[in-house]
Chain A
Amino acid sequence: MKKFINTDKIYPAIGIFGILIIWQALVVIRQTPMYILPSPIDIGLALVKDWDLIYYHLIVTVYESLAGFAISIILAFLISIFMDSFNFIKKLLYPILVISQTIPIIALAPLFIIWFGFGMMPKIVTVVIVCFFPIAINLVDGMDSIDDDYLKLFKSMKASKIQTLYHLKLPFSMVYFFSGLKIGATYMIMSAVIGEWLGGDRGIGVYMLRAKNAYALDRVFASIVVIVGLSILLITLIELMSKKILVWQNERDEE
């Protein structure tokens, strides 16, 4: 068993490390200039050298993302409970939710700046627009997929709507909620960055834009590394949380 766990971690590590070595070698051999493609080592150096500035910008991005994410979760719960309680509302809102997702966010984000100014607000709104959907849809689908026999059981116990929600629907849809949360988390930093690109004075997106305009590609890549790292960290955190909360689900699957 141990052996398998080791190879599980070794192979991805070899893959990532291999790509970095090939990248470094190509840049060195072909003597690619920094403003075309910096080498991994250049990127690492830029990250270390510029860390204070990156950190200064990053804090704002993290704040916007987490605020947007929290709002998304609250909104998703409210809307999905509302949709589950009234069938006509579900029929009313479901297609609108799906359609709203097909609108390119890059076209909407400039409008948010017109509406909400250059502060954090338009970025938070962008994050909410992107993250709300996967969480809400997963919750709605989760509540929808409850076995009818369970609902009958609760009916026979004469449970009220709120009791059924609390004891059955919400716990049951936690599995779906967490898979929505993971999808949301992958996009959340990225959507805040998109919001920052279009205007603002602080945030990792602003930093990235300025670095790009200065052809400091090593710094552009350094900020990419930071965004990727942060996103992975968040996904891992959610994964750990879901494992802890959904113990019963995992144990049952292993049976």
Chain B
Amino acid sequence: MPTQTNSSTNKPEEVIVLNNVKKTFGPMTVFEDISLHVNKNEVVSVLGSSGSGKSTLFNIIAGLYGVDEGIVKVKGSIGYMQQKDLLLPWKTVYDNIALPLKIKKVAKEDINMKIQKYLPVVGLQGYENKYPYQLSGGMRQRASFMRTLMTAEDIMLFDEAFGSLDSVTRGQMQKWLLEMKDILGNTVLFITHDIDEAIYLSDRIYVLSKIPAKIQKEIVVDFHKDDKDKRLLSHKLLELKSEILKLL
């Protein structure tokens, strides 16, 4: 079980730890024994085919579901983003983004300052007074991303967040996400069924089996770490892909 990484002098800080987690829904066992960890500033993907309990795992980490056995530790604030952008259609982009801060009862001026600071970063400047239905799918996901950011700055969970976008927009959003991650310096956990997406974005990949799911393998993606764009054209991507396909 790959729970411990190199225990040398500068041991990375683990912000998400799952130890021997078991989860059942009535008679159905979704996970028998799941252990994984995510280090600070890492991009980690959990890859599984549909029906592997990915979303359950996601809900457990987000703190929405409890577990039957095992330990779940999350250090820092956690925000999540889904395939559906879940923007409130009756609120403007600005009010949608401000919502988590409003709920935290942050003062109006502070909300405004924070939003004005991040709007240009995520590329939503000039869109703040539009309604979600006036935006394209990619722009809506950006707004949803920014709302997630306002919910929590430390850890971001993505549940097939770009699944409903067309492939061109999805590629752009993936690239954009990596840029965001560099700027914000946060930790990202991706839950996806898209192998290319997982390889392109991640530092490490956990491959999940079918229900009752367990971690099939932990893969460290160690090529082209500095310029992930190059990964897309690398033959190593294909090798890794065929390896993962055998596991799924």
Contacts and interface: CB of A to CB of B under 8 A. Distances in A.
Interface of A: 147, 149-150, 152-160, 163, 167-168, 171, 174, 246, 248-249, 251-252, 255
Top 8 nearest A-B pairs by Cβ distance? Answer: A252-B133, A157-B100, A248-B89, A159-B103, A248-B90, A171-B90, A157-B103, A153-B86
A251 to B, nearest CB: 5
A156 B103 contact: no
Interface of A, secondary structure class, is helix
Interface stretch (B57-65, B184-192, B229-237): B57-65
Given A149-B84, A167-B103, A248-B133, A156 B62 contact: yes
A15 to B, nearest CB: 36
B64 A156 contact: yes
Contact of B88 (A160, A163, A168): A168
A153 B151 CA distance: 10
Contact of B133 (A150, A157, A163, A255): A255
Of B80, B90, B131, chain A has the most CB atoms within 10 Å of the CB of: B90
B79 A156 contact: yes
B131 A248 contact: yes
Given A149-B82, A152-B59, A252 B89 contact: yes
Interface of B: 59, 62-64, 78-80, 82, 84, 86, 88-90, 99-100, 102-104, 131, 133-134, 151
A166 B133 CA distance: 21
Given A155-B64, A156-B62, A249 B99 contact: no
Nearest to A160: B103
Contacts of B103: 154, 157-160, 163, 167
20 contacts: A147-B84, A147-B86, A149-B86, A152-B59, A152-B62, A153-B80, A153-B82, A156-B62, A156-B63, A156-B64, A156-B151, A157-B99, A163-B103, A167-B103, A246-B90, A248-B89, A249-B89, A251-B131, A251-B133, A252-B89
Contacts of A158: 103-104
Contacts of B89: 248-249, 252
A151 B159 CA distance: 16
A158 to B, nearest CB: 7
Nearest to B151: A157
A167 B99 contact: yes
Given A248-B90, A251-B131, 7 more contacts: A149-B82, A153-B80, A156-B62, A156-B79, A157-B103, A167-B99, A255-B133
Given A157-B100, A248-B133, A255-B133, A167 B64 contact: no
Contacts of A155: 64
Nearest to A250: B133
B64 A152 contact: yes
Of A155, A249, A252, A255, chain B has the most CB atoms within 10 Å of the CB of: A252
Contacts of A246: 90
Of A155, A167, A246, chain B has the most CB atoms within 10 Å of the CB of: A167
Contacts of B88: 167-168, 171
A158 B82 CA distance: 17
Contacts of A154: 103
A151 to B, nearest CB: 10
B10 to A, nearest CB: 32
A156 to B, nearest CB: 6
A245 B107 CA distance: 27
Contacts of B78: 156
B247 to A, nearest CB: 29
Contacts of A167: 88, 99, 102-103
Contacts of B63: 156
Contacts of B86: 147, 149-150, 153
B84 to A, nearest CB: 6
A232 B37 CA distance: 64
A153 B89 CA distance: 15
A137 to B, nearest CB: 22
Contacts of B64: 152, 155-156
Nearest to B133: A252
Nearest to A174: B90
